[in-house]
Structure 1
C-alpha cells in the first residue's frame, strides 16, 4: 500500500487551540511550543486522573467541500466507533487574527483502562479519511503535558512524529469561528455561493437543478424604482399577518425568501453541513433579489425575510457560547453583500419569548431545526436577535409585535411613509 500522507496545516507550532466544553461558556485555550519555560498546565488538562488520556482530531483536507462533508460525518463515526468511556467535544485550531485559518475537529478524553480500542479507531480513520490525530501525554511530575502528532507508515502502523509542549494562553478578543464566517457561514457574493454548489454537483445531484435556476449571474439593481420593504423576525412574531396586510393596504407585490422555486430541495440541503446549506440559501437570496428587481419596476414590494435572516441565523449558529462572543458591532461580517439588491426599509418584529412560544403552540405546525433550537435555547435566541440588530446596509428598525395586528400595521405604515415617502 502506498503511504498515505496527511499534510500538516501551515505554521502548526504557531497555532492556538480551543476546546468547547458545553457550547455556552467561553472556550478553553492552549498553545504549543518547542521548549517549556515553566508555564502552568492549561485548564483543559487539569484535574485529569492518572489513567485518563486525551487526543485531538482535526479535519485537514485542502478541499473545503470534502472538509465540510467529512467534519459533518466525523461525529457520527466517533459516536459509533469509540468505546463508551470516551467523551469528545468540538475543538478548533487557528492562527491568531488570520482569516480562513480555522480548522475544525474534536477533543477526545478517554477514561478507559486500555488505550488500544480508542487508538485503533483513530488509526482506521487516518487510513481513509482526511483526519490529523494528536495525542497528549502527561509528564512524570504531572505538571508537563506534550502534544504528539501521529503519522501513518507504510505498514499502516501509527507512529509519533513531532512533539510539542502544551502551554496556556490568554483568550483572544474574538471567538475563533469568526475567522471563517465570511463566505463559509455567510456569503457576500453570488460567485462565492455559486462556486460551492457547482463543486457539489457530483456528490449532491440536486445542486445542478438549483444552479439551473441561477445559471446567469443576476444583475444587481441597487436602486429599485419603487420602495422595497423587508419584514424580519423570528417565527410567530406576526410576519405573515403583517406582510399580507401591507400587501392589501399598499397594493404591493408580496415575495418570500427563500423563494418558492427552491422548496423541492430545501429538505435535502437542510441535511448538509453549514458550508453547503448556507450556499444554497445564499443563492435563494439572489433569486429573490431578481424577483424584487422585476416587481419593483412597477409597484412597491413587501418581502417576508431576506438576507438579514440568512446572516443572523448563520452567525448565531457558527459562534458558540454567550452573546458577547458574537463579532463586535461594525465587523465586516455584518456588512451587506455588494452585489445584492438592498431594500429601502427593514422592519424587525420583536416579541416577548413567552408570548412567542404561546403563539407557536397555537399554530400546531412544524418548525425548522433552527426554530426548534430557538424555542428551548434562550441563548441562541439572544444571539440571533443580537446579530439581527448589528447588520448594516440597511440596519433593522425594531418594532414591538405584542400589540394587536392592526396596531402593529399602523406603526409599520408610519415608518414606511416616513422613510419611503409613501
Structure 2
C-alpha cells in the first residue's frame, strides 16, 4: 500500500511494447566505369569539408570538361528501355557518356538504378538539361561535379523544372568508397539478365507485352513447352564458342559422323523475332534468349529418345554474354569463381557434355572479315572492346555443372574435329 501523500512509482512499459529500433539505412553508393574500364567507387556526404570522413576518389572525375551524372528511375523494364534510349541520344548528341550504377549495399534490387556519368563542356550543360527534361520522368534530377577552393570534390544535385528553371536540392562532398566484395550488379544478375530460372525470364517478357507485341507470341510458344521435360537415353552434347570459332562446321560434321540430330539455340521457330529483340536493352534481349533455351529443351527431350543430340549453343552463351554486359569493368571485376551466376538453372534440361571452341582474337577477327555478314551488337562490342571479350571468354570458363571442356579451334578443321571427337569418346565410349 502507498502511504498517504506518497507518489506512485512510474509506470514501466514492457520491453515488448517498445517498437524495434530500425537499423541505419545503408549509405547510397555509386560505381562508375572510367575510360579504360577502370571502376571507381564513391559516395556523396553532406557537411563541411572536414565532415563525414573519406578522401576524394582517385582518378575521378575523368577529364576533360565538366562532369555530370544522372540515374534512370522506374520499374525494371521501362527503366531499361529508357536507359537504352538515353544511351543512343547521348551518343547522337556527341556526349561522352560512361556507365554508372547507384545502389545501397545489401539492399534489394529495386534500390539499384543505372545511369550515366557524362563529360561535357560547360556550354553543353543546357543541352544536357533539355535532353533530361524531355526523356526522364518529371521532375528530372542532374548532379553536377565541381572542384572547390579547398581542393575537395563537390556534387550539387539539381531538380530540373519542366518550365526550364532548376533548383539546387543539396550539396555534398564526393568521397571514395570501399569497393564491395563482389560487383553490386552480381547479387541480382540471375533475375536481371542471367536468368537462373524460367519464371525469372518470363516475368520480364510478360511486362513487355504492352510495349512489344512480339513478346506475347514468344510467351505463347514457351507456355506450350513442358515445365520439366524428360529426356531420352541418348547423349546430349553442346558446342559453344564465340562467332567464327568454327561451331557450324563442327556441329555439321558431328551430325553426320554420330548419326545425330542437330539443334540450334535459338531455334528456327523464333527466328522471325530475333531482330526485334536484338534492338532491345540487355534485360529484355536476354529474357528473350533465356526463354528460347526452354523451347530448345523441349526439342532436346524429344530428339534424345531417337539418337544423339548435337546443339549449336545453349544456356552457356546466354549467361556468358549477359554477365559480361551487366558487370562493368574488367575480368577482375567479374563475380568470383563458384558464384551462383555461373551455375546451370535447375529447371532447364541439362546436357551431358559442353565443348567450348577457342581461337585467338586475331584469328577470330581474320575469319570474321571473310564472312561479310551483318554483325550483332554483341559482336561489334567483342571487336571494339577487348575487356568485354575477355569477360565473355572468362565467364565461359567459370561455368559449372556442366563446365566447358576447352578445345583449341585455331588448328586445321580436321585436327579440331579430331580433338572434339576425342572429348566425346572420352565421355561416351560407346559412340
The TM tier, using the shorter chain, reads 0.7 to 0.9
Calculate the TM-score normalised by the size of structure 1.
Answer: 0.86
Instruction: Name the counterpart of 1:143.
Output: 152
Instruction: Name the counterpart of 1:21.
Output: 34
8 Å Cα contact 1:59-1:130 kept in structure 2: no
8 Å Cα contact 2:91-2:97 kept in structure 1: no
8 Å Cα contact 2:63-2:119 kept in structure 1: no
- Quote the offset at 1:383 in angstroms: 1.6
Give the stretch that moved more between structures: 384-393 or 222-231.
222-231
Residue 371 of structure 1 pairs with residue 379 of structure 2: yes
Q: In the TM superposition, what whole-angstrom CA distance separates every residue of 1:227-262 from its partner, at most 9, and x where no partner exists? A: 100011112222111111111111111101110111
Distance of 2:414 and 2:60 partners within structure 1: 58
Q: CA distance change for structure 1 residues 224 and 149 in 2, over 3 Å: closer, same or farther?
A: farther
Distance of 1:165 and 1:285 partners within structure 2: 47
- Quote the offset at 1:286 in angstroms: 0.5
Distance of 1:231 and 1:218 partners within structure 2: 24
Unpaired runs of 5+ residues, structure 1, are 1-10
Between Structure 1 and Structure 2, how many residues are aligned? 403
Q: CA distance change for structure 1 residues 80 and 228 in 2, over 3 Å: closer, same or farther?
A: closer
Residue 186 of structure 1 pairs with residue 214 of structure 2: no
Q: Which has the larger radius of gyration?
A: 2
- Quote the offset at 1:389 in angstroms: 0.7
Instruction: Name the counterpart of 2:12.
Output: none
- How do 1:18-417 residues align onto structure 2 when only pairs under 5 Å count? 18-22=31-35, 24-35=36-47, 36-37=51-52, 39-43=54-58, 45=60, 53-61=66-74, 63-79=75-91, 87-98=96-107, 100=109, 101-112=111-122, 116-126=126-136, 128=137, 131-143=140-152, 145-148=154-157, 150=159, 157-221=165-229, 224-417=232-425
8 Å Cα contact 2:154-2:171 kept in structure 1: no
Calculate the TM-score normalised by the size of structure 2.
Answer: 0.84
Distance of 2:369 and 2:320 partners within structure 1: 24
Distance of 1:71 and 1:400 partners within structure 2: 38
Q: CA distance change for structure 1 residues 117 and 367 in 2, over 3 Å: closer, same or farther?
A: closer
Distance of 1:163 and 1:263 partners within structure 2: 51
Distance of 1:80 and 1:135 partners within structure 2: 21
> What SS does structure 2 have at the residue aligned with 1:219?
coil
Distance of 1:38 and 1:196 partners within structure 2: 41
- Quote the offset at 1:412 in angstroms: 2.1
Instruction: Name the counterpart of 2:3.
Output: none
Distance of 2:244 and 2:395 partners within structure 1: 19
Give the stretch that moved more between structures: 71-80 or 142-151.
142-151
- Quote the offset at 1:116 in angstroms: 4.8
8 Å Cα contact 2:183-2:334 kept in structure 1: yes
8 Å Cα contact 2:139-2:159 kept in structure 1: no
8 Å Cα contact 2:222-2:292 kept in structure 1: no
- Quote the offset at 1:274 in angstroms: 0.6
